[in-house]
Each structure stands twice: as structure tokens, then as C-alpha cells.
Chains A and B, each alone.
Chain A
Amino acid sequence: MAIWFARSKNLVSSLRHNLNLSAILNKCDYSPRPIFFSTTSQLSSTSFLSPVASLRHESTAVETQPDHLVQIDEDDGQELDFPGGKVGYTSEMKFIPESSSRRIPCYRVLNEDGRIIPDSDFIPVSEKLAVRMYEQMATLQVMDHIFYEAQRQGRISFYLTSVGEEAINIASAAALSPDDVVLPQYREPGVLLWRGFTLEEFANQCFGNKADYGKGRQMPIHYGSNRLNYFTISSPIATQLPQAAGVGYSLKMDKKNACAVTFIGDGGTSEGDFHAGLNFAAVMEAPVVFICRNNGWAISTHISEQFRSDGIVVKGQAYGIRSIRVDGNDALAVYSAVRSAREMAVTEQRPVLIEAMTYRVGHHSTSDDSTKYRAADEIQYWKMSRNPVNRFRKWVEDNGWWSEEDESKLRSNARKQLLQAIQAAEKWEKQPLTELFNDVYDVKPKNLEEQELGLKELVEKQPQDYPHGFHV
């Protein structure tokens, strides 16, 4: 941060004063205290501590510091009253710089070799949980690969992968309770996978067959499951954010031990609904966890063309929202951050913002060829050297919880199940034609009854104009 010393009489107090602007974001004030798992010993038990309570007290305590330190400065002994409360004044004309000299650091627990960084704060993960997380990350990889190929073969019309973002997908889901209501963007199928959506259910939606819960109405990957508390995906970007604020508020009013969790990409934070969603969640004091997957690209638009701020984490404070930047490719860090954020949201009834740094290894979708706008070796680098699945695998293997044999068994099983799921989905009947007209309203209105009759007649009269298999 550029600090103006020009006219300050007291250099030290001015320094302290300026540093306070970033004090709230300082790692040591918000991170968990040493009662967490220590990096020097292995944890094999399944007991989870409940450390977040102390975390909460620490973090709120810090917020009172700035007031205290401001008063030390000679200039700022007096305060002015304005709507919104008291504010100190200064005769020194000082602009807040457009950026800090130092970017907000990224919370990370595992290094690239899958080793826990000494003195890391994190919430311990048992063997059972870690293995499950790894399996799901690997399954997501296999699922993405096979569905992508299915699209290439013309068997489904569209697909988009989450390659590179498996840690965000799975670790965030693992950190939530099943009662937390998820409002996704579209690159979070791993959350649904974690909660129990089967490979068949994924395939059915992609094929839009009779078993698709969405009844074939939307493009592939627009999954939804009320059973698993995962709102149906819609293509417009960021529309889910203010909705998440409403969902969180409902949970709060119903006094549920649950929060809303909603995802957005870096590009989506430019939408007006991002502003609306965060502001409403903050003002309404709604328990919402906003998770931004900053993967560097919005289709072909690099983040340097998306905003001029230090990413998304710095925007949280602008709304009065507690925020953290996390290494999105570090499953343990994502798990700890989301778990902590979720506890804060629920116990303190407030929104929390998480910016998960990552990289979109895949193309935006099957309609995109990202080599047209970015270097192939950039993609390769992230795919090979910064792979979140490999990194977590190393840690799990180092603990003795996973082997090469487990790996090949998992991958071949997943592959087999997926191929079977696709074959089965392809064979399923199509949706009956009447589903074109249902659910526009709760009850079909007269105009739709007429249109359905009219269409039925047309289809019977000229079946060659229409695709086969849609029972009338």
C-alpha cells in the first residue's frame, strides 16, 4: 500500500493507522488459533475439534482495533457526526490508494508436493473423509473426460468441464452440511456429485431423457436436485447471487442450522447481480457463503480485462463482508476455509466471501477452443504442474491412505460406470410431448391446452417434420 507520509507528524502512528486499513485482512487476526491440528503430528483420529467458536471471537475482536488506534493520532482526536455514525476527521488530504502495495495473500495448507506447510492452520481431515474427497475428485475428472468425449461423438449436444477446479468442487461440498442450500453457477457439478447425485442422474440430464428431473427442457449440465438442496442451474450469470441472499434470509427466519452457499466465477463478479447479492446479504445479515472461483478466464476474457481490483476478495469489505482468499487448488485449504466460513455464516448470521484462486484448465465449454486465445503451454503448465487432484493425491498417499492399486481400480470403475450410465441414458425413452407444456404454470392455462391440442394434430398429420420417440 502506498502510504503518504508527507504531512503526518507522527510517522509511527500514521503507519499504524494506514496498516489498520488492511489489519482486518491480516492473516494472523482471522486464521484459526493453535488449538487446531498442528502440522508436526499426524492426525489419524476422526474427531473433529470445534475450533471455529474461538475463531469467531478472534475475528470480531480485531474489528474494534482501528477505532482505538485512530485516537492516538493527534489530528484525529475529534469526530464528526454524520448519518451513518461518527467519523474522525483529518486536515491532511489523503486519497486511499487504488491498490495495496501487496496483494491479499492466499491461504494455503498444502504445498505443490502435497506436503503440509509447517505451522499451517487448518481443520483436520480424517482418513475416511480424505479418501472420499480424493475419490470424488478423481471421479469428477473421469466424468468430465467421458462426457466431454460423448459430446465430441455427437451423443450429447453440449458439455462443460470443471477440469482444474476439482478441489473447489469437492472440498467445498465436503465442508458443508447437507442442509445447506446450494445455488451454483454452472461449473460446480462436483458439489452435486458429493451430495449423492448418481452418474446415471448426470447422464439423464445430459441426454434430456424421460428420467431427467429437468424433463429435457434445458441444455446439458443444467442439473438441479431439490432432494440434494441444489438449485437448478440457469445459464444467465450471477442471477443466483441475490437469490442466495433471499434463501439465506429464509433459513435465518426459520432458525435453521443451515446457510445458503452460492458460486460465481471471476467474470460473474462484474455483473450487477454480484453487487446486488452481496449488498443484500450484508444488509439483511443473511447467512450466505459466496464462493468465487477465480479461474483466470471468462470464456476468452482474461481477468486483466475483467476488473482492475486485486481480484475479488478486496470487494468483500466494500460491502461489509468478511472475506478470504484461498488457494483453490489446495483441497485442505478450501475445506478449512469453507467450513469456517459456513460456521461463521450460520452462528453469526452474516455473509462471508471466499475467493478461491484456480485455473480453468479446460475450454470454457464444448463450444470453445481456448487455444485460440491462450497459449497451449500455459494450459499444459496448469494441467501438469498445478493439478489439484495430483496434489491432494500425494498428501493422501503420503499418509498411507491411498495406493496405485486403489487409483487404477477407482479410475477403471468410474470409467466403466460412466460408460454404462451413458449407454443406459441413451436407451431411455424420450420425454412425452406433454412435458413441453407442463410446469409453465402450476396448472396448464387454456392457451397452452389449445396449443398442445394443435401440436398433437400436427405431429400426427406430419410426423416426418418432427423427431421420433416423443410420445403424444
Chain B
Amino acid sequence: MAALLGRSCRKLSFPSLSHGARRVSTETGKSLNLYSAINQALHIALDTDPWSYVFGEDVGFGGVFRCTTGLAERFGKNRVFNTPLCEQGIVGFGIGLAAMGNRAIVEIQFADYIYPAFDQIVNEAAKFRYRSGNQFNCGGLTIRAPYGAVGHGGHYHSQSPEAFFCHVPGIKVVIPRSPREAKGLLLSCIRDPNPVVFFEPKWLYRQAVEEVPEHDYMIPLSEAEVIREGNDITLVGWGAQLTIMEQACLDAEKEGISCELIDLKTLLPWDKETVEASVKKTGRLLISHEAPVTGGFGAEISATILERCFLKLEAPVSRVCGLDTPFPLVFEPFYMPTKNKILDAIKSTVNY
């Protein structure tokens, strides 16, 4: 495995997986960063379904993160367009389009701004099928939003709001860890007959580079992936945090601790079986996410695994997460669940 560095300006790469992990496609492709991979997915989505639309603030010229580059030129302004600056309108409009059988791929400019749309997502999109007795549905709705720390984002350009959405029956929540994963997962989300919230780790838009197959492929939802096998402790994470966790695993290995690392990918509904099987093997669990620890999604994973694996556990479940503060600017390096915080937690869990 190629050497990976921390959150520096060096580009991170995602080499091929350790054995035992599943992949939809082992073909090599072009070297792409995250925003290009997402862009490819969107091109394919619009190309394969004439009733699909991409819209949101500033998507017309390519978007503030370039994820929508070339779409308006290729598919026309009727299908790829800017919207007024109004998240509740963007999602509400998307629900209406989806309810009519179209695929509405909606962009929220930063996950930090998704909250005005929370009512539409929770009270409308999530319940659209159920409340109508399956007469109606808005399964064609996919909401994309950049999330997570970026080094200088502060309160409103760094948030990880996934936990709010994981508490809503009726929607799915998906978070990719890399360009190759993002393309396959996004295409699955778009084509899934349920409304999906897709959080893209903005830190990786440029930083992550990986070989991404150029064809149309999908990675299944609600299937977690063991991306590194080990025996002493199971680590579970998602998105950009996995690269940090992977570094911690490498350091731990040098000290004789064998770590199993799982990418959850879909947080709702999540793959309990894969995590359960791993923890039954290792006897230890560590969860890491950027979002604040209290009420974070790690709590759900911890509670579930405790229920299912109590007698197999050698130590309490460890959570290495963001602090319970608004995401700070100058204090970001202190706030974040860093590699060394994770490594310390691995060691204290193993030595419990």
C-alpha cells in the first residue's frame, strides 16, 4: 500500500484494496479526483435517463466545486439549471419533479446549509411513499451536499450533519470515501427508488486521486466493506475520516496491533451484519467521525453492536470524534479526531 500522508497539501491516493474486500469493478480507469468522478457519474446519469435533472445554486457554470462541469452545455439548460438561493425551494421543487417520475439530482451547496430544507426532507420526502399508501413516491430524489472539514471552513463550511438524517425512516444516507466509490455509489443513489442524501467529503474533491473506471457501474447501497483485514480491533468509519483511520491502522501495525477497517458507506439503512461479524472476530470496536461525539452516528453503531456482541467484547466501544462544539476555525486541529487520537484509542482499547 502506498504511503499516505495526513491532511497536508499532498494529494492522497487510493490504491487497490487488500484481499477479501469486494469491488464491483477491478478494471483500471482514468486517474480522477473526487469532483471529477462525481462529474462523470452525473454525466452518465443524465445520459442514461432523459427524465433526469440536475439543479441547485450555481450548478450551471459547473458548480462551486466543479462537480457539475459540462452538464448544462451537454444536456441543456432545461435539464441542468441554477435555482434561486433557497434550499427549501430546491428540495421542494425536487420532490415535485421526483413525484412525477423524474430523477431530480439536487445540489445543496454546503451541507451546512441543508437545514432550511430539513422540513421538506423529513416531513415530505421521507414520508411521501408511506403516507400515501404507496400511491405516490419521490424515490427519484437524490440530494448531494459537500460535507466535512476542509482545513479552514469554520462553523459553516465544515459541518457533518449526517446524524440528523440517520434518524429519519424513509430516506437513505450515503457517504463515499474515495473517487471510485463516489461514482459507483452516486449512480446507485440516483437510481435507487428512495430519496437519498449523499454527503460528499469536500476535503477529497481535489485531494483524493484514484483510478476510476470510465464506464457505468454501481456500488450497492447498505453494504459495508472491509477495506483492511485484521484481528485485534474493528474500526468503523466513513468518508474522509477513513484515510485518517487507515494511517492509524498502519501505525498500530508497527506496534503489533492488527486492525480491521470497515467503510460503512451507507449509514441509513446500515449494514449491521458486516460490522457484527467483524466485532465477533476481533472483540473490539472503535468508531470515528468528524461530527460531534454526543448524539453522533457512532452512538447508534455502538449501541447496536453492544446489543449483538456484548459477550464477545473485550473492551468498551471507543468513539473518537469531533468535540461537542461548533466547528471551530483556528482550533480545527484540536477539534478533529486525528490519527494520533485514534491510535491512542486503539492502544487503550487493546490494552483494556
> Does B78 sit at the interface, judged by CB under 8 A?
yes
Of chain A, the residue at the smallest CB distance from B195 is A441
A276–B119 Cα distance when bound, in Å, is 13
Is the pair B93, A234 in contact by a Cβ cutoff of 8 Å?
Answer: no
A224–B83 Cα distance when bound, in Å, is 29
Interface residue from B97, B133, B193 paired with A442 (Cβ < 8 Å): B193
> Does B347 sit at the interface, judged by CB under 8 A?
no
A242-263 residues with Cβ-Cβ distance < 8 A to B are 242-251, 253-254, 260
Size of the chain A interface, CB-CB below 8 angstroms: 48
> Does B94 sit at the interface, judged by CB under 8 A?
yes
Is the pair A277, B130 in contact by a Cβ cutoff of 8 Å?
Answer: no
Which residues of B have CB within 8 Å of A439? Answer: 129-130, 133-134
Which residues of B have CB within 8 Å of A217? Answer: 130-131, 133
Interface residue from B94, B98, B123 paired with A234 (Cβ < 8 Å): B123
Interface residue from A212, A234, A246 paired with B133 (Cβ < 8 Å): A212
Which residues of B have CB within 8 Å of A218? Answer: 131
Is the pair A226, B135 in contact by a Cβ cutoff of 8 Å?
Answer: yes
Known A246-B100, A279-B86, A442-B194; contact A213-B135, beta-carbon cutoff 8 A: yes
Is the pair B133, A213 in contact by a Cβ cutoff of 8 Å?
Answer: yes
> Does B154 sit at the interface, judged by CB under 8 A?
no
> Does A123 sit at the interface, judged by CB under 8 A?
no
Which residues of B have CB within 8 Å of A248? Answer: 96
Of chain A, the residue at the smallest CB distance from B86 is A276
> Does A236 sit at the interface, judged by CB under 8 A?
yes
Known A272-B116, A277-B89, A441-B170; contact A232-B132, beta-carbon cutoff 8 A: yes
Of chain B, the residue at the smallest CB distance from A235 is B123
B112-135 residues with Cβ-Cβ distance < 8 A to A are 116, 119-120, 123-124, 127-135
A226–B131 Cα distance when bound, in Å, is 13
> Does B207 sit at the interface, judged by CB under 8 A?
no
Is the pair A277, B133 in contact by a Cβ cutoff of 8 Å?
Answer: no
Known A231-B136, A246-B99, A247-B97; contact A239-B120, beta-carbon cutoff 8 A: yes
> Does A284 sit at the interface, judged by CB under 8 A?
yes
**Nearest chain A CB to B18 CB, angstrom units:** 26
> Does B258 sit at the interface, judged by CB under 8 A?
no
> Does A225 sit at the interface, judged by CB under 8 A?
yes
B255-273 residues with Cβ-Cβ distance < 8 A to A are 269, 272-273
Proximity string of chain A (336-353) to chain B, C-beta cutoff 8 Å, 1 when within and 0 when not: 000000000000000000
> Does B233 sit at the interface, judged by CB under 8 A?
no
> Does B84 sit at the interface, judged by CB under 8 A?
yes
> Does A393 sit at the interface, judged by CB under 8 A?
no
Which residues of A have CB within 8 Å of B172? Answer: 441
Is the pair B84, A249 in contact by a Cβ cutoff of 8 Å?
Answer: no
> Does A445 sit at the interface, judged by CB under 8 A?
yes
> Does B318 sit at the interface, judged by CB under 8 A?
no
Is the pair A250, B132 in contact by a Cβ cutoff of 8 Å?
Answer: no
Consensus secondary structure, chain A interface: mixed
> Does B104 sit at the interface, judged by CB under 8 A?
yes
> Does B92 sit at the interface, judged by CB under 8 A?
yes
A217-242 residues with Cβ-Cβ distance < 8 A to B are 217-218, 222, 224-226, 231-232, 234, 236, 239, 241-242
Which residues of B have CB within 8 Å of A72? Answer: none
Proximity string of chain B (93-111) to chain A, C-beta cutoff 8 Å, 1 when within and 0 when not: 1111111111010000000
Which residues of A have CB within 8 Å of B120? Answer: 239, 242, 273
Is the pair B93, A243 in contact by a Cβ cutoff of 8 Å?
Answer: yes
Which residues of A have CB within 8 Å of B100? Answer: 181, 246-247, 250-251, 254
Is the pair A246, B104 in contact by a Cβ cutoff of 8 Å?
Answer: yes
Which residues of B have CB within 8 Å of A283? Answer: 83-84
Proximity string of chain A (179-191) to chain B, C-beta cutoff 8 Å, 1 when within and 0 when not: 0010100000000
A280–B104 Cα distance when bound, in Å, is 15
Which residues of B have CB within 8 Å of A226? Answer: 132, 135-136
B189-238 residues with Cβ-Cβ distance < 8 A to A are 193-194, 222
**Nearest chain B CB to A182 CB, angstrom units:** 12
Is the pair B131, A239 in contact by a Cβ cutoff of 8 Å?
Answer: no
Is the pair B119, A440 in contact by a Cβ cutoff of 8 Å?
Answer: no
A-B pairs, top 10 by smallest CB distance, nearest first, are A246-B96, A242-B92, A276-B89, A243-B96, A232-B132, A250-B100, A445-B269, A246-B93, A215-B133, A226-B135
17 contacts between A and B (CB under 8 A): A218-B131, A224-B135, A224-B136, A234-B124, A239-B92, A246-B92, A246-B93, A246-B104, A247-B96, A247-B97, A247-B99, A249-B97, A273-B89, A276-B89, A439-B133, A441-B172, A442-B137
**11 more CB-based (< 8 A) A-B contacts, given A253-B51, A446-B273:** A218-B131, A226-B132, A243-B99, A245-B93, A247-B96, A253-B102, A254-B100, A260-B96, A273-B89, A275-B86, A276-B92
